[in-house]
Structure 1
Amino acid sequence: MNTLSERLIHALQVTSVSQSELARRIGIKQQSISQICSGKSARSRYTTQIAEALGISSHWLATGDGEIGLGISNVAVGPEITGKIPLINWVQAGHWTEIREVITHGDAEEWREVTGKVHEGCFALRVKGDSMENPNGKKSIPEGSIVIVDPDASFSSGSLVVARLEHSNEATLKQLVFDGDKMFLKPLNPQYPAIPIDENCTIVGVVKQAIIEFF
């Protein structure tokens, strides 16, 4: 294994750690790990942190000399995990008020670890469609991103919200906009029209985080 990328890929395989999990442990973007694995970065200032996060020899990772040294460190690196929340579908999100107290492990696509101010009453959704993808490069949430939603957070004009319209069985992700005494659900993609709302709309929760995954 002559390159850093080869050694890192091998280390990820033998430790069963994904690129995104490694990035989370260190507190950097997953794209930085991906660039090392792809060979775009021949050196990295994160070598020592990577080794500590994986529990391997930093000298081996940096130079290829010696043994990989599995189990060298069990030091947790990165943000503290505060709980797990369910990644659910859009139909479940539309009825979150009714199901949040009874949802079980098997009801969700997966349970995702969360950090910081996100509490266990929140839930996650995988974005579908391009209505929240802004081609102008400003705030944008592309298809496939994961949004973390807080059903207990207060909202105001400009908030990104998950809402359910009357007569719809599933929720939608939009920006809430107040214009005088009128309210709208506005896509970030200007190709889609804003939706006027009143009592026909239930705000399910406010988006606290958007996680863009590159793999």
Structure 2
Amino acid sequence: MKIGATIRAARKAKGLTLEKLALEAGTDASNLSRLERDQQGANKELLERILQILGISLTGAHRIDPNVGEDIRIKGLIPVISWVQAGSWCEVSDIYAVGDAEQWLPCPVTHGPRTYAVRIRGESMYNPHERWSFRDGDIIFVDPDRDAIHRSLVVAKLTDTQEATFKQLIIEGEQKYLKALNPSWPEQIMRINGNAEFCGVAIAKHESLI
């Protein structure tokens, strides 16, 4: 994620307009707009002011570089990653080890330091008659440090695939199943026998009006 996209995501998460942030940072909105679109750079002092206003911190000896967004640690924002990245989540201990994020979003609930977000694909978890229902394109927040218990909504990776899947965990005695919430889904129940690795528990759904 380049510095411009990082600044734009953090600004929107804080509910700041271009004009408001530009005023606080001591620049003008047109310059800030070009910076957010990575069409121009900014001097070190201006970048430091913008990052401070947005609550974006730098790690240790990391330097400010207008073209390198990977060095930026965003406080309070969660990365939206791909399902391939989610499938590798259990193997990493740092959310920044997965590479670029699609975008960064504020999580509405208390979460662990490795929490990530993924965008739902398909309609297997869509059931408008249940408490939880997820449409294609919805975004969920997933905490890999939360214990998966009976009826948890989990992201799991099967051993024969590189990508993860989103289902409800059903535990009956020693047996575990993955269940699609959609009652019309062709394969609603999948039995798992040590052939799945849990990559986190869904803790919230992102609600957006746009």
With structure 2 as the length reference, what TM-score do the two structures score? 0.60
Q: Are the structure 2 counterparts of residues 176 and 116 from structure 1 closer, same or farther at C-alpha, using a change threshold of 3 Å?
A: closer
Aligned length, in residue pairs: 148
Alpha carbons 1:124, 1:147 under 8 Å: kept: yes
Q: Equivalent residue for 1:155?
A: 148
| Pairing 1:134–2:127 present | yes
Match of 2:192? 197
Secondary structure, aligned partner of 1:164: strand
Q: Which of these residues, 161, 165, 168, is aligned with residue 168 of structure 1?
A: 161
Cα displacement (A) at 1:106: 5.3
1:188 aligned partner: 181
Conserved? CA contact 1:183–1:197, under 8 Å: yes
Contact 1:92/1:99 (8 A) holds in 2? no
Q: How far apart are residue 204 of structure 1 and its match?
A: 0.7
Q: Which runs of 5+ in 1 are unaligned?
A: 1-16, 26-52, 57-69, 72-80
Which AA in structure 1 matches 2:199? V
> Which has the higher Rg, Structure 1 or Structure 2?
1
Q: Contact 1:82–1:119 at 8 Å: present in 2 too? A: no
Q: Partners in 2 of 1:102 and 1:191 — Cα distance?
A: 35
- CA-to-aligned-CA distance 1:68-101 (integer Å, 9 cap, x gap): xx99xxxxxxxxx952221100010000123443
In the superposition, relative to structure 1, how do residues 109 and 183 fare at CA in structure 2: closer, same or farther (>3 Å)? same
Contact conserved, 2:109 with 2:204, CA < 8 A, in 1? no
Is the CA contact 2:112–2:145 (under 8 Å) kept in the aligned structure 1? no
AA matched with 2:150: S
Task: Assess, with a 3 A threshold, how the Cα gap between structure 1 residues 177 and 109 changes in structure 2: closer, same or farther.
Answer: same
Following superposition, the deviation at residue 210 of structure 1 comes to: 1.1
SS of corresponding position for 1:91: helix
1:206 to 166, 191, 201: 201
**Structure 2 alignment gaps of length 5 or more:** 1-7, 25-73
**What is residue 121 of structure 1 aligned with on the other side?**
114
Structure 1 residue 198, shift from structure 2 partner: 1.7
CA separation of 1:179 and 1:190: change in aligned 2, threshold 3 A: same
Contact 1:162 1:172 in 2 (8 A): yes
The question of whether the paired residues in 1 share the 8 Å contact of 2:95 and 2:115 is answered with no
1:8 matched residue in structure 2: none
Q: Distance in 2 between matches of 1:187 and 1:95?
A: 22
Pairwise mapping of residues 25-36 of structure 1 onto structure 2 (< 5 A)? Answer: none
If asked which structure has higher relative contact order (CA below 8 Å, sep 6+), I would say: 2
Measure the CA separation in 2 of the matches of 1:119 and 1:102: 11
User: For the residues of structure 2 that align with 1:131 and 1:88, how far apart are their CA atoms?
Assistant: 20
Seen in structure 2, the aligned counterparts of structure 1 residues 173 and 105 have a Cα distance that, compared at 3 Å, is closer
Q: Secondary structure, in 3 states, of the residue corresponding to 1:97?
A: helix
Distance 1:105 1:191 in 2: 35
State the TM-score, normalized to the length of structure 1. Answer: 0.59
Q: Secondary structure at the match of 2:76?
A: strand
Within a 5 Å distance, the mapping from 1:1-215 to structure 2 comes to: 83-101=76-94, 103=96, 107-192=100-185, 193-215=188-210
